[in-house]
Structures are given as C-alpha cells and as structure tokens.
Structure 1
Amino acid sequence: MGAYVIDSALFRDQFSTAQMREIFSDEQTVQRWLDVEAALAKVQARLGIIPQAAADEICAKARAELIDLPDLKREMDRTSHPIVPLLRAMKKVCSGDAAEYIHWGATTQDIIDTGTMLQVRDALDIIGKRYAEMEGHLVKLAATHRDLTMVARSHGQQALPITFGFKVAVWVEEIRRNRERFDAMKARVLVGQFSGAVGTLAALGDKGIAVQEALFEELGLGCPRIHWHVSRDSIAELACVLAICTGTIGKIAHEVYSLQKTETAELEEPFAMGKVGSSTMPHKRNPPTCETVVALARLVRNTAPMALESIMAEHERDKIVLQTEREFISRLCCMCDAAALKMNYVCANLTVRPANMERNLFIQRGLLMSEAVMMGLSDRLGRQEAHEIVYEVCMDVFERGGDFREALLANPKVAAGIDAETIDRMLEPHGYTGMAGLFVDRVVGKVGAE
C-alpha cells in the first residue's frame, strides 16, 4: 500500500482516475515544465532575443523521456531546487551552446506556476466533460420520472408528496449552476505566469511584455495584467469552486445512500452479482460507490481552507504557500474527477423502485396529507382554526395509532362540513404534487426554456 491512497495500487481508483494520475505524474510534471521552457525559447527566437538555432534545439530536446528522472530527483535533493537541476539536465542533452539560452529572463516560479496551469487545464477539461455527462444523465432521469409520485421529506420526516422527477430536476439545476461557476472560474484560473524574479520582467528590458504576451498565446493560457507570484486567490477559487461542485455530487450521492436504506428502499445504486455487501452478512446490498463519493466530497471540501490560507502570502515570493499548493492541487483534481466519474456511473444506472415509493406514500396511514386537509377546511373554519383541529387529530393518530381518515370522520368539527368523499379526495397523494411536473418541464427544457 502506498503512503497515500492515490499512490496505492489497491485503493487509488477509489480516490482518483488513471487519466488524472497521468496528468499529475512526475513525467508529465517535468514535461509541462519543459513545454513552458520550449515555448519561451520559441517566442524569444521569433522576437530576436535568442538565436533561432538555439530555440530549435531546445524545442527538439524538451522531452521528458530524455531526462534521467532519478538523477533529476537526486539533484533536486542536493540543490533544494526544482528547476536548476532541470536546466542542467537540458544542458546535457542539448547540442552546442543551445542550453545557454534556455530559461532566458524567467524565474523558477514562472515555469512551475505555468506548468501547473497547463496540468490544471487538462484536468478541468476532463472534469468539465464529466459534469456535462452527469447533467445529461440527470435530465433523462427527471424526464423519465416526471410524474412518479413519492414522499418528500423535511427534517428527515415525511412531509408531502412530490415526484421523483421533481427531486432530480432540483439536482439538475444545481449541476447547471455549478457548471456556470466552473466555466467562469476557468477564465480567471487558467492564466500563465511569466514575470521574472520579482514580477517586473527587468531582465528582458523593453521586450518583456512582448515575450509574455507571445508566450501565453503560444501556450493557450490567459495573460495576466501583472504577476501573481504571491496572489494566490485564483488557486483558492479553483479549490472553492471544485469543492462546491463536488459537494453537489456528494449531496446527490448521500440522497441515494439515504433512500437505499432498507426501511425506505426507493433507490439503489447499480448492483451486479458478485458485488458483496458484507463479509459476515450475505444478504447485505450496501451502497459503497455512493459512500465513497460522499467521502470524496468531504475530503475535497477540506482542501478549500488550505487554499484560502495560501492567499496570505508574504512579500514578492513565498515558498511556504507554493509547497502547500504542491501538496493539494493534484490531490484536489484527482478526487474531484473520481467523484464525478463514480457518480456518472450511479446516475446512468440508478435503480428506481416505484413500488416502494408507492408503499411509502401510505405508511403513515394518511398523515402525509395533513396539509391538504387543513387547506380544505380553511375556507370554512379559517386557516389557523383548521390547523389547530387537524394538528390535534394528527397527534392523536400518531400517538394512539389508527387511520387518519377514520379519525377525521370521527371529529365532529371536521365531519360537520366535509363528507367522506371529499376527505378521500384530500387524502389522495397522487393529486397533490402541485406544479412538480411543470417545474420538471421547465428544467428539462420542454416549457419556458430560455
């Protein structure tokens, strides 16, 4: 087992995905550093700052497979520096004096921050696609079950009837808001860093801005108006937005988990023969996927405070902040991706149990419909008086047992103004879902789409 779950061959797929691990692998981290160095040399040659031949050689040799990673690691340990050993390694593989022109006017943090943004961009592309897929699965669920009546619950207790499609449509809208946050955040986060030692680009004289703009155009990143060496608010926003997005996924997973409980049994995460719930209780059908998603959401959420702490950076450079980010950025992206992938699987293959939803509408023997009865009595008795009467009847049924309908008919104040047929209509849950269906249509795009 690895020192951390993402490194564990046994547990890594619960907390990450192969794609995300590859993006943040040592090989890809070094490659992204080299990509920045190569792009920098390319645009500097174009601007006449370094020889074209040197830039061509740097670009040709800026390949991680040419770098001896174990030796690079030894040099990083010896020098306590990440980029100087890389520059020395490049000098070994570049012919002539080409390596003398690598890293021209740059500082280490320029390369590392920009390399990280290239990795984050790749990560967000994958995560964003997963969110889009999830929205599609949920829209289909909402439309399919638009009119499937079920119990709504508040404070953990039965409240009123809704439809399952209505419940899912609420999830859809939250996912959509998160996708809007996600896309808006990318414009602020996916910004390169090339500013020199303290952000002034002094080493490049009057060509600094031209190099900066050309470099980020080459790399496909945003160009900052001023350096962000110690302005880590964009990293904090990345963590917070991903925490919100994964929180929504965790909320949906927890709802499936809750509604899969034996006594409720209205939903179930995908099951296939061979999936084992317990080593001692063969009958168990647990929701391990949803449980893992909820755990991931909590872990991601706990990354946000560290990212917010990193905003408080010192002077013009603060390695304490950078070391903190080095620990959590890859972990954050890995866990977000794992949560989204797992929840896509659940949403695409969710088992919905209409018979159990129907059963649960009646387990309180009519009490679910107390609001409908109260509103029906309000025209004759006034709302508050009707509430008091229905409350007393409900509490008596709750404590003594029995049937809500029979208790209503036995109450003289109720029976004086409403006949049994009217009470029966009031106690019909399928006719008391309000505008649930219309709201579903609005969300899935059938009515009122903008």
Structure 2
Amino acid sequence: MTFFPPDSTLLGPLFTTEAMAGVFSDRARLATMLAMEAALARAEAESGLVPGTLAGAVAAVDTDTLDLPALGAKTALSGVPTIPFLKAVEARLPPDLAGGFHRGATTQDVADTALALQMRDAFALLAAELGPTLDGLCRLAEAHRATPCVGRTYGQHGAPISFGFKAAVWAAGIGEAAAALPGLRERVLTASLAGPVGTLAALGEKGPAVSAAFARALGLGVAPIAWHARRARMVEAGAWLATLIGALAKMATDIANLASTEVAEVAEPYVPGRGGSSAMPHKRNPVSCTVILAAQAAAPGHVGTLLNAMAAAHERPVGLWQAEWLALPPLFGLAAGALREARALAEGLEVHPDRMLANLDATRGLLFADAVAGRLAKHLGREKAHALVEHAAGAVRDSGRSLREVLAEDPSLADPALRAALDSAFDLGPAVAAAALWADRGVAAARQAAAALADEAPG
C-alpha cells in the first residue's frame, strides 16, 4: 500500500524523480541510520568510551540484508523504526562489542541525524537541477529581451513589455530561492546527539567532545544544545521547499495561460505522446505546468504539519515529531518533480513572437493608454489627461475603433505639440527598451545565484 504519490509506482514518476525517491527510500533510511551509529562509535572511541573496533564492525553490517517487512511490522509495535533497526544491527555485532553499541544515544538522535543526512543528499539533487534551470531561463530572457509582448495585470492587458522581461522575472524569483539554499543547508544540516532527555548524561563531561567529533565525522553541524524539541530547522527546510515550488509555480501559471488557445504565445516543448487527451485527439495539454501547480497546491499543507510540530511538549513530544516524517520527504519529492519540469520548460519552451505582436493589437490600442496619458499630462496636467484618455477608452470599447482613431478626432488635441505627443505614445520602442533594461538586471541576479550554487557544489 502506498500513501503518498511520490512513493507510488504508478504516480511517482509523474510527481518526483527516481533519484529523489531513492534518497528517501527505506533502504536509504537504513543506510543513514547505520552511518549515524558508525560515526557515534568512532567519536566515542576517540574519547575511550568504546573499543576502537566497534565503528568498523557497525559499518560492516550490510543493511541490504535486513528484512524490511519484518522491520516494518516491528515498527508498528515499537512506534519508531529506530528500535527494531538497532536490535537487528546489534544482533549482527560480535558479542564483545555489542555492549558499547548506541551508547548514550536515543532513538530520536538516530532518526534526526539520519534525516539530516538524507536531506543533505536531497538538497544536493535540487541544487544540481537549479543551476541548469536558471541558465535556461536566463538564455530565454536574453534571447527575447526585446521581443514585444503584452503586460497583463488582473488578467487584462496593461501595457507593453518584452517577453524577455517576463522570463527574467521567473528567473529572478527562482534565483531568490536558490540564493537562500547555501545558508539554509548550513543551519539545517545539524547532527543530533543528546540522549534520552537531551543532556547526554550517559557520557558525562565527555558529552560535548563526543558530540562535536560525531558531527565532524558525518560532515554535519553541531548543535549547542539538544534540538529534540526545537524543530525550527525542519520548518525552515519545509518552508524553503514550498517557496521554491511557489517560485516555479509562478512561471507555470504564466506559461499555462500563455499556452491557452486564445493566447497561444508559448507552448510547452513537444514530446510525442505527452499531453494528449483520452477524448480529444487534438489536445496538447501543459503537463509540466500541471505537475508544478499540483506540487504547489499540496506543499502548504505539509509545511503546516511542520509548523504544528513546533509545539513540542517538554523534552520530547507525542506525535508531533513523528508527523515530520509524513511531511518532509513528500515536500522534497514534490520539489524534485516540479524542478524537473521547470528545467524542461526553461530549456525547451516554444515562443511565438508573431502571436505576441498580434495580441498587442487585440485591444485596438488601449495597451498604450498609460503612455498616452503620460505624454499628454506634460501639456494638460495629469488629472485632465487621465480623464481624457479614460473617456477615449470608453469610446474605443463602444465603437470598435482604435484608440488612435478616437483621439485623432478629439478637437481638444488638435495642437501640433499634442499630436506629436500622441504619435510618440504609440511607439513600442520605449516600453520594450525599459523592459529589456530590467530583464538584463533580472538575468544578472539569477546568474549570480546560479554561480553561488556552483561554487558550493562538491568537487
């Protein structure tokens, strides 16, 4: 039985990637829990608390030989997967070493540290996809920095922009999420070694040194005090994932609208057999946008679960900490699937400049109303110019004539200086040039975020 689509053989390939599913697989969880115990044994051996051979014996246990169904049945009995796992590993250790196994630690130390290791791998997968996605969007924005298109507000035509400007907005938004990742990893990827109530009392005065050596062995951060009941780092991770998905969803929302039949300014990359309809053979549905927007719709609920888990009672709560297991892996899975689709869009989006030009004329010149009012305001004053253009816009809608035609017939605009102002207002050039300027700035910010991710990547 599968409860979450990312884990499903049927739906998983749609909503996540095989690599991300692997990071949070049961076998991966067992492997990270074993890595935690091996690191603990090494750290304790440094302080003379356990034999030096224990770490090697622990690391030598083959988690692939552990019986997953049996561990699952025992997890239902114990309430956590850690307890049956520890018993299974201990049974495979030499009797003279088993007594030092898991010394001073508690089940939550194992689970939280293992999750931190899984999150490290998961963040690395996302970072590896973010770079190419940003690069694709930047190239798209640069290629169309001066391609005129409609700027839309409240679902209606507003004023001219360039398509490159729109793509640069997408890139900058995703780049903001990418730029936050290095700091997030530094804060979130922290080892947990605190013992039953957070004081690591079993190790006495050697506790802090063992904790530091343990974290160092795993390449994780060191907490100044137990974080068993301090769950803000999990909330921060979940919120970042939801923010990333949201930034991708902004792009997907725009593309889905621009790809609609009535607009038809862009289309998702064509892949044979993708996006068809069981009833309508002509359909080419925006599948990438669908996956991204489905992830965006689901993400806030998982973040809410993580926020609720912050109300942890005393040194360990009932149920709240365990609820994180139901929220963080699905969030990573959804983010991976959404980012995969976003990369495909960034690198292969079909753009139709001719259709963009045609749509610029759809409102018969009303798209230039703001520019007209601005030019006339220099001669008539802002309030009078705005009222005049507003009245002319009404005449355009009532008569079907163009804004330029209506204004040309207005006797109050017969002055040659006003005629010249009108002529300049209907020139696309200044609006596109302004959009291109800001597109360049957005691209620069996105490229900077991508470069920071590349600099941080493992060699």
TM-score tier after normalising by the smaller chain length: over 0.9
Kindly indicate whether the alpha-carbon contact (under 8 Å) linking 2:43 and 2:211 is maintained by their aligned counterparts in 1: no
Which position in structure 1 is the counterpart of 2:380?
A: 381
Matches within 5 A, 1:430-441: 430-441=429-440
CA distance in 1, matches of 2:147, 2:422: 23
Quote how far apart the aligned CAs of 1:141 are. 0.8
Matches within 5 A, 1:416-431: 416-418=415-417, 423-431=422-430
Matches within 5 A, 1:32-51: 32-51=32-51
Quote how far apart the aligned CAs of 1:158 are. 0.5
Which moved further from structure 2: 254-263 or 372-381? 372-381
SS of corresponding position for 1:52: coil
SS of corresponding position for 1:224: coil
CA distance in 2, matches of 1:421, 1:84: 82
Matches within 5 A, 1:253-292: 253-292=252-291
Describe the superposition over 1:154-194 as per-residue Cα deviations: whole angstroms up to 9, x where unpaired.
11110111111111112222222211222222111111100
Amino acid of the structure 1 residue aligned with 2:107: T
Amino acid of the structure 2 residue aligned with 1:427: F
CA distance in 1, matches of 2:318, 2:34: 21
CA distance in 1, matches of 2:255, 2:202: 58
Kindly indicate whether the alpha-carbon contact (under 8 Å) linking 1:54 and 1:97 is maintained by their aligned counterparts in 2: no
Kindly indicate whether the alpha-carbon contact (under 8 Å) linking 2:144 and 2:163 is maintained by their aligned counterparts in 1: yes
Whether 1:406 aligns to 2:395 is no
Quote how far apart the aligned CAs of 1:87 are. 2.3
Kindly indicate whether the alpha-carbon contact (under 8 Å) linking 2:147 and 2:432 is maintained by their aligned counterparts in 1: no
TM-score by length of 1: 0.95
Quote how far apart the aligned CAs of 1:424 are. 3.6
SS of corresponding position for 1:160: strand
Change in Cα spacing, 1:441 to 1:338, as seen in structure 2 (3 Å) is same
Runs of 4+ in structure 1 deviating by more than 6 angstroms, as ranges, are none
Kindly indicate whether the alpha-carbon contact (under 8 Å) linking 1:239 and 1:332 is maintained by their aligned counterparts in 2: yes
CA distance in 1, matches of 2:243, 2:405: 48
Change in Cα spacing, 1:70 to 1:272, as seen in structure 2 (3 Å) is closer
CA distance in 1, matches of 2:76, 2:404: 78
Change in Cα spacing, 1:87 to 1:442, as seen in structure 2 (3 Å) is closer
Matches within 5 A, 1:13-28: 13-28=13-28
Matches within 5 A, 1:279-358: 279-358=278-357
Kindly indicate whether the alpha-carbon contact (under 8 Å) linking 1:38 and 1:55 is maintained by their aligned counterparts in 2: yes
Give the share of equivalent positions with the same residue, in percent: 35
Change in Cα spacing, 1:403 to 1:109, as seen in structure 2 (3 Å) is same
Change in Cα spacing, 1:71 to 1:378, as seen in structure 2 (3 Å) is closer
SS of corresponding position for 1:162: strand
CA distance in 2, matches of 1:55, 1:378: 79
Quote how far apart the aligned CAs of 1:13 are. 1.2
Kindly indicate whether the alpha-carbon contact (under 8 Å) linking 1:36 and 1:115 is maintained by their aligned counterparts in 2: yes
CA distance in 1, matches of 2:272, 2:73: 49
Kindly indicate whether the alpha-carbon contact (under 8 Å) linking 1:163 and 1:433 is maintained by their aligned counterparts in 2: yes
Quote how far apart the aligned CAs of 1:69 are. 2.3
CA distance in 2, matches of 1:83, 1:112: 7
CA distance in 2, matches of 1:43, 1:276: 54
CA distance in 2, matches of 1:279, 1:415: 60
Aligned length: 447
CA distance in 2, matches of 1:427, 1:327: 56
Describe the superposition over 1:313-354 as per-residue Cα deviations: whole angstroms up to 9, x where unpaired.
101011311221011111111011110111101111000000
TM-score by length of 2: 0.93
CA distance in 2, matches of 1:53, 1:376: 83
SS of corresponding position for 1:241: helix
Kindly indicate whether the alpha-carbon contact (under 8 Å) linking 1:361 and 1:429 is maintained by their aligned counterparts in 2: no
Amino acid of the structure 2 residue aligned with 1:154: T
Describe the superposition over 1:32-73 as per-residue Cα deviations: whole angstroms up to 9, x where unpaired.
111100111112112211112333322222x31232223322
Matches within 5 A, 1:35-74: 35-61=35-61, 63-74=62-73
Kindly indicate whether the alpha-carbon contact (under 8 Å) linking 1:148 and 1:354 is maintained by their aligned counterparts in 2: yes
Instruction: Using CA pairs under 8 Å that are at least 6 residues apart, name the structure with larger relative contact order, 1 or 2.
Output: 2
Kindly indicate whether the alpha-carbon contact (under 8 Å) linking 1:377 and 1:414 is maintained by their aligned counterparts in 2: no
Whether 1:141 aligns to 2:140 is yes
Which position in structure 1 is the counterpart of 2:453?
A: none
Change in Cα spacing, 1:363 to 1:212, as seen in structure 2 (3 Å) is same
Quote how far apart the aligned CAs of 1:21 are. 1.0
CA distance in 2, matches of 1:160, 1:239: 37
Q: Which runs of 5+ in 1 are unaligned?
A: none
Quote how far apart the aligned CAs of 1:209 are. 0.7
Amino acid of the structure 2 residue aligned with 1:45: A
Which position in structure 2 is the counterpart of 1:114?
A: 113
SS of corresponding position for 1:221: coil
Change in Cα spacing, 1:422 to 1:38, as seen in structure 2 (3 Å) is same
CA distance in 2, matches of 1:37, 1:411: 84
Which moved further from structure 2: 69-78 or 307-316? 69-78
* C-alpha RMSD of matched pairs (Å): 1.9
Quote how far apart the aligned CAs of 1:91 are. 2.7
CA distance in 2, matches of 1:319, 1:220: 30
Kindly indicate whether the alpha-carbon contact (under 8 Å) linking 1:276 and 1:282 is maintained by their aligned counterparts in 2: no
Whether 1:86 aligns to 2:97 is no
Amino acid of the structure 2 residue aligned with 1:21: A
Which moved further from structure 2: 285-294 or 49-58? 49-58
SS of corresponding position for 1:433: helix
Describe the superposition over 1:281-324 as per-residue Cα deviations: whole angstroms up to 9, x where unpaired.
22222212201211111211221111111111101011311221
Kindly indicate whether the alpha-carbon contact (under 8 Å) linking 1:41 and 1:59 is maintained by their aligned counterparts in 2: no
Kindly indicate whether the alpha-carbon contact (under 8 Å) linking 1:55 and 1:98 is maintained by their aligned counterparts in 2: no
Quote how far apart the aligned CAs of 1:92 are. 2.4
